[in-house]
A and B are shown apart, each in its own frame.
Chain A
Amino acid sequence: MSNRKLKLAAVSFLNARPITHGIERGEGRMGERFDLRFDLPSRCTELLQSGEVDLALIPIASLATMGQPLHIVPGISVASRGPVRTVLLVSQVPWEQLTTIALDGASRTSAALIQILSKARGALPLFVPADHDAVLSGVKGTHGALIIGDAAFDAANDFPYVVDLGDAWRELVGLPMVYAVWAGRPDAADPEAVSLLRESLRMGIEGRSQIARGWAESSHLAPDLCVTYLHHNIRYGLGAEELSGASAFLARAAADGLIPKAPHLRFFDDGRPERPITTVRTAPPLPVPQSGRDHPNKSIDALLSDAAAGIRLGTEDALRLYDKASTIDLGAAADIRRRSLHDDGVVTYIIDRNVNYTNVCVTRCKFCNFYRPPNRADGYTLTREQLTQKFQETVDLEGVQILLQGGLNPDLPLAYYEDLFRWIKANFPLAIHGLSPEEIRYIAELEGMSLRGVIERLIEAGLDSIPGGGAEILDDEIREKISPLKCSTETWLEVMRQGHKLGLRTTGSMVFGFGETPRHVVNHLEHLRALQDETSGFTAFICWPFQAEGTRLKLRDDTTAVRYLREFALARLYLDNFPSLQVSWPTMGPDVGQVALRFGGNDFGSAMIEENVVSQAGAVFKLSAGDIERYVRDAGFIPRRRNMRYELLATS
């Protein structure tokens, strides 16, 4: 355990107080490990840059301008989901009519935010710097101002046109806005320090009301205003949606030239070493985590209504619901939960293309009809020419990413992927949603590298995210029956864990119909939920039934619509930390996929321009973007296109 005292700098606004609360109290290890000073946001950044402090609560845009790679403390941020109240555009005339907007020099991130938002609405005012104290007095005629901090509380009532930028951001991209994070050089914070910082926030959240009232008193603000602000307007976590919001902001800031390049979000290490790679035959038994607790005294109805309200289910709770809750009750509860997570009535979908770069595979899963063992005449690896045709077509059809997956081909080393990714990035404006835990562990084995090592190289070459395939059922007993040569449950999870820690987003999946029991299903969900608690890296969960045609697996298990809807609804209730659930129309058909939007789903998946693997085994539905939009509207939602991190894309 380190005893080094760390120097910290944090902003002195009200919204940061809960974060620093425990540190300020300085009891026990808090006092021994930390030395905290307060300053303006830009000063905090300078102190970190110069090395005068080890960690600083800095505006998120500064991550890109420090000139050195920084790591972030996981789980802590200053963020908002919708109106933030302390970042406002005020003016006498509407935004579109403004010729200048005065920028309060105190926050670069807010400045970038308003520039991004202006551009998105087609407004092009001049942005002029102004002193923190002089900003308001210049608001007349077509001159507006960006107001931040305490001054914004009052300013809201003093002008005819007031736009809350947190709200405007959410409307534009459908994600939270992250304003500030704890950051430092990669060696700045050890695991104990990280854990203390999180404890400090936890104490601050508990004491929010007191903090708010104390602040109100000393700054002559209304106490209720401050209490509401800290409870509702500011969010402090750095969960999956916040991470997406932060990435979206940095990407747009870079695209608009406001920062040099969007940095990858990397986290301080929790000191946990990477688990060795195992296959289902070599893996020791893996205990099922306990990310929630059970409520054996709650009735089924009580469990349903509590889960609908976001109260976490234990594994036995979930099993009881699976067994006893009626299908429509389960669906209705999941529907309520979905609506509280996504209250904008939007269902997203993405336009992308599945490109299976090779069908040569040594894993030979029994449930797959797509693979070809090496040296078969009908095995292929796509040429650059073939890939060009597919990628160009994707761009022409308004696709935004490639889901790039293939078999485990022993002739393709890491260098192949690096070259491929670099080539894609150099030639096509497409995101690479690529590979899978199984492919990555195979590359690691071929190259004798760690999982983390391989993933780092792939990210360098252009990998943007990893699809959640290859999970099937996360239980080695089942996996041994259906794909005995495949990676173990633990390795699947470990690849995702390492990827998340390196800032990659991934999806999580489940395929059912392999003779698994309800307990297997719940354990699978539990593995995903516990990992999400650790890393917040999953964007969405998707499940579908095993497609049997032409495969070697002659199971006759229940893969009917009601089972799909029940498992889907249960997943929505259980995976309380997964922002989105995608329906599976390619396997279930668009009608059932649509119904699943009312059983907890908020995303219609992909208008995939090509799909090879599952359709070989029997599922042959095809939908255009127009079809998808019709199904979404008929279900009562507004369809919107998104990218991988669930950022809304502009409507054309």
Chain B
Amino acid sequence: MTVTFDSIVRKVEQQEPLSFDDGVALFAHPNIMEVGLLANRVRERLHGNRTFFNRNFHINATNVCVASCRFCSFARLKEGDPEAHTMTLEEAWGKLQARVDRNEPVTEIHIVNGLHDKLSFEYYTDLLSGLKRIKPDIHIKAFTAVEIHYYSQHYGMTVGEVLRRLHAAGMDSLPGGGAEIFADRVRQKICADKCNAEEWLHVHRTAHRMGLRSNCTMLYGTIETVEERVDHMLRLRDLQDETGGFQTFIPLAFHPDNNALMKLPGPTGVEDLRTYAVARLLLHNIPHLKAYWVMLGVKTSQTALWFGADDVDGTVQEEKIYHMAGAETPQTLTSDELVRIIVNAGRDPVERDTLYNVVTETEALVSQKPFRRNVQKRSLEVVP
């Protein structure tokens, strides 16, 4: 059967999974508004008007890294380099302690690191258990599959053992990073010396089988073809069919500054929105699609809420990875600002925790001071 836009629409209406050819056709379809409208329908079927965000902060405990991913400015950073930094445990714990002392209602810590070749494994388990001591109910989303794989090799354990020990120490779920593009051709060129696609998927499969949830990502806008993007997403979809453990898919736009791929132009707004829309349509079995405002910029993220996205990642204080790569977005958004951005996009904000339990519903969020909903103007303002 030949693929036409209409045939794709029919499949989506009947909730049939789309094929590889469908995915490629969607990327090529000249009318991006039609693709967006279709993705929006799926988004609203799954989530209505609800748009999720959470209160989290990031810890990049170390940016020292033995890998040489060409899109990352941490690449090959060594201990002693001027930009290199490895936190002491006290320093890392202090970041949570400070927030607890200030009574900040944060629900998640997001921890990702470079691949350090001189730290002991206990550094990580101590890090986790120390954080849990300070705030036992905090959710720790930590270590990408790349790190897990590296630890298993570096410390001589199976992936399962690594995960078990980290989980016991306090890791509650896995972030989705390190996936980049699964196609070998691309990996060889942009991140040849970290885990490959099978290894990345193996980590997540193992985690899911242990009952841990995780996210998944795709880095687009480097040298990959459209076919390679579709292939990447379908491999994630296949694993999800097996285990059901992915919560959220996050397309990550490549950022061209301060890294070895600086000469590439990076994706534009329309391409970002199209990638979101196609992701929503292809990944019918992954519940959430997140617009990561740190990468996309606040404005495009807000628009993406109409092209398939239902989640705007959190307050993200102290984000480093993207900002060292040149992101010009603010380093943090307060939850008030996130609420305002979501409402002014015409969506209903819902504060969630890492596992998508509702922390605060829309009405409560919007009726709090310091907001005033101006029905006449159809906007939400922060009242000074």
B3 within 8 A of A: no
Beta-carbon nearest neighbor of B31 in chain A? A335
In the complex, the answer to whether A558 meets B269 with C-beta atoms within 8 Å is no
Separation in Å of the A548 CB from the closest CB of chain B? 13
The answer, yes or no, to whether B71 is at the interface (CB within 8 Å) is no
Identity of the chain A residue whose Cβ is nearest the Cβ of B273 in the assembled complex: A595
- Interface positions, chain B 360-375, Cβ under 8 Å from A, are none
Chain B CB within 8 A of A406 CB: no
Give the interface segment out of A83-91, A183-191, A319-327: A319-327
State whether the Cβ of A328 lies closer than 8 Å to any Cβ in chain B: yes
B299 pairs with A560, CB closer than 8 A: yes
Closest to B346 in A: A327
A636: B residues at CB distance < 8 A: 30, 32, 270
Distance A354 CA – B317 CA, assembled complex (angstroms): 39
CA A556 – CA B37 in complex, angstroms?
31
A598 near B379: Cβ-Cβ < 8 Å: no
A591's nearest neighbour on chain B, judged by CB, is B269
**Inter-chain contacts of A590 with B (CB < 8 A):** 268-269
Q: Mark A563-604, 1 if CB is under 8 A from B, else 0.
A: 101000000000000000000000011111111011000000
Q: A611: shortest Cβ distance to chain B, in Å?
A: 18
> CA separation between A515 and B377, bound complex, in Å?
8
Residue B257 at the chain A interface, CB threshold 8 Å: no
Size bin of chain B's contact surface: 35 or more
Q: Does A558 lie within 8 Å of B37, measured CB to CB?
A: no
Which residues of the partner chain A approach B244 to less than 8 Å between Cβ atoms?
none
**Pick from A323, A518, A592: contact of B269, CB under 8 Å:** A592
Which of B10-18, B87-95, B302-310 is found at the contact surface with chain A? B302-310
B319 at the interface (CB under 8 A from A): no
Chain B contacts for A332, CB-based, 8 A: 33-34, 36-37
Give the residue of B34, B40, B297 whose beta carbon is less than 8 angstroms from that of A591: B297
Q: A326, A558, A635: which contacts B344 (Cβ < 8 A)? A: A558
CB distance from B254 to the nearest CB of A (A): 13
Residue A517 at the B interface, CB < 8 A? yes
Question: A557, B381: Cβ atoms under 8 Å?
Answer: yes
Is the C-beta of A192 less than 8 angstroms from some C-beta in chain B?
no
B263-307 interface (Cβ within 8 A of A): 265, 267-273, 297-300, 302-303, 305-307
Contacts A591-B297, A636-B30 given; does A326 touch B306 at CB 8 Å: yes
Contact A557 B379 (CB under 8 A): yes
Bound-complex Cα distance A515 to B383 (A): 13
> What residue in chain B is nearest A635 (Cβ atoms)?
B270
CA distance A335 to B271 in the complex (A): 17
Give min CB distance, B160 to chain A, whole Å: 42
B380 at the interface (CB under 8 A from A): yes
> Which of B30, B36, B300 is in CB contact (< 8 Å) with A328?
B36
Cβ of B378 within 8 Å of any chain A Cβ, yes or no, is yes
Q: A331 in the interface, Cβ–Cβ < 8 Å?
A: yes
The answer to the question of B376 belonging to the interface, with a C-beta cut-off of 8 Å to chain A, is yes
Contact between A560 and B33, CB atoms less than 8 A apart: no
Q: Are B32 and A598 in touch, CB under 8 angstroms? A: yes
Given A332-B36, A557-B379, A562-B302, do A595 and B344 touch, yes or no (CB 8 Å)?
no
**Chain B 13-51 against A: per-residue CB contact (8 Å), 1 yes, 0 no?**
000000000000000001111101100100000000000
B382 engages A556 (CB within 8 Å): yes
Docked complex Cα distance between A602 and B267 (Å)? 20
Assembled-state Cα–Cα distance A588/B302 (Å): 13
Determine whether the beta carbon of B271 is less than 8 Å from that of A634: yes
B268 near A328 (CB under 8 angstroms)? no
- B383 closest partner in A (C-beta): A556
In the complex, are the beta carbons of A595 and B269 less than 8 A apart?
A: yes
B69 at the interface (CB under 8 A from A): no
How far is the CB of B225 from the nearest CB of chain A, in Å?
15
B341 at the interface (CB under 8 A from A): yes
Known: A517-B376, A560-B341. Contact between A591 and B299, CB under 8 A?
Answer: yes
| Interface status of A631 (Cβ within 8 A of chain B) | yes
Across the interface, do A556 and B297 meet the contact criterion of CB distance under 8 Å? no
CB-based contact B268/A635 at 8 Å: yes
B residues in contact with A634, CB < 8 Å: 267-268, 270-271
In the complex with contacts A595-B269, A635-B268, A562-B384 CB distance below 8 A: no
What residues on A are CB-neighbors of B305 within 8 Å? Answer: 562
Task: Give residues of chain A (445-486) contacting chain B, Cβ–Cβ below 8 Å.
Answer: none
**Residues of B with C-beta under 8 A to A275:** none
- CB pair B376 A518 closer than 8 Å: yes
Does B96 have its Cβ within 8 Å of any Cβ on chain A? no
Chain A interface size, as a band, is: 35 or more
Q: Per-position contact with A for B226-248: 1 when CB-CB < 8 Å, else 0?
A: 00000000000000000000000
Smallest Cβ-Cβ distance to A631: which chain B residue = B268
Q: Which residues of A511-567 have CB atoms within 8 Å of chain B's CB atoms?
A: 515-518, 554, 556-558, 560-563, 565
Cα–Cα, bound, A557→B377 (Å): 9
Give the contacts of B90-135 with A (CB-CB under 8 A): none
Give the docked Cα–Cα distance between A589 and B298 (Å). Answer: 11
Name the one of A322, A323, A558, A561 contacting B303, with C-beta atoms under 8 angstroms. A561
> What CA separation (Å) do A563 and B303 show in the bound complex?
10
Of chain A, the residue at the smallest CB distance from B253 is: A591
Closest to A630 in B: B265
Given contacts A328-B306, A335-B33, A589-B297, contact A558 B272 (CB under 8 A): no
Complex Cα–Cα for A361 and B378 (A)? 35
Residues in A with CB closer than 8 Å to B344 are 558, 560, 562-563
Is there a chain A Cβ closer than 8 Å to B345's Cβ? Answer: yes
Docked-complex contact B378 and A322, CB < 8 angstroms: yes
Q: Which residues does chain A contribute within 8 Å of B341, judged by CB atoms?
A: 560
**A558 and B379 contact, CB distance less than 8 A:** yes
Q: Which residues of chain A have C-beta atoms less than 8 A from B33's C-beta?
A: 328, 331-332, 335, 598
Known: A328-B40, A631-B268. A592 touches B300 (CB 8 A): yes
Residues of A within 8 Å of B303, CB to CB, are 327, 561-562, 565, 592, 595
- Closest Cβ of chain A to B44, distance in Å, is 9
Q: What residue in chain B is nearest A562 (Cβ atoms)? A: B345
Chain B residues with CB under 8 A of A563: 344, 379
A569 → chain B closest CB, angstroms: 10
> Whole-angstrom distance between the alpha carbons of A323 and B377 in the complex?
9
Q: Kindly state whether residue A306 has any CB partner on chain B within 8 Å.
A: no
Please tell me if A270 contacts chain B, counting CB pairs below 8 Å: no
Quick one: closest B residue to A327, CB to CB? B306
Once the chains are docked, how many angstroms separate the CA of A594 from the CA of B299? 12
Q: Does the CB pair A588–B378 fall under 8 Å?
A: no
List A contacts of B30 (CB < 8 A).
Answer: 636
Q: Which B residue's beta carbon lies closest to that of A345?
A: B30
CA distance A329 to B345 in the complex (A): 13
Bound CA span A322–B307, Å: 19
Closest B residue to A334 using CB positions: B33
**Docked complex Cα distance between A515 and B268 (Å):** 31
| In the bound complex, CA of A397 to CA of B36 (Å) | 38
Residues on the A chain within 8 Å of B34, using CB: 332
Known contacts: A328-B40, A329-B37, A592-B269. The answer to whether A556 contacts B345 by CB under 8 A is no
- The residue that B378 contacts in the complex, of A515, A518, A565, A594, with Cβ under 8 A, is A518
Least Cβ distance of B299 to chain A in Å? 3
On whether the beta carbons of A592 and B299 are closer than 8 Å, the reply is: yes
Which chain B residues have a beta carbon within 8 Å of chain A's beta carbons?
30-34, 36-37, 40, 265, 267-273, 297-300, 302-303, 305-307, 340-341, 344-346, 376-382, 384
Some 21 contacts from A to B, beta carbons below 8 A apart, are A328-B306, A332-B33, A332-B34, A332-B37, A558-B377, A558-B381, A560-B302, A561-B298, A561-B303, A562-B345, A588-B299, A591-B268, A592-B300, A593-B269, A594-B268, A595-B270, A598-B33, A598-B270, A631-B268, A634-B270, A634-B271
**Contacts beyond the supplied A562-B345, A588-B299, A592-B299: 12 A-B pairs with Cβ under 8 Å:** A328-B33, A329-B37, A515-B377, A517-B376, A518-B377, A556-B384, A560-B299, A560-B302, A562-B306, A598-B32, A598-B270, A631-B268
Binding site for B on A (CB under 8 A): 322-323, 326-329, 331-332, 335, 515-518, 554, 556-558, 560-563, 565, 588-595, 597-598, 630-631, 634-636
Name the 10 nearest CB pairs between A and B, nearest first. A591-B269, A561-B299, A558-B379, A332-B33, A328-B306, A562-B345, A634-B268, A635-B270, A595-B269, A594-B269
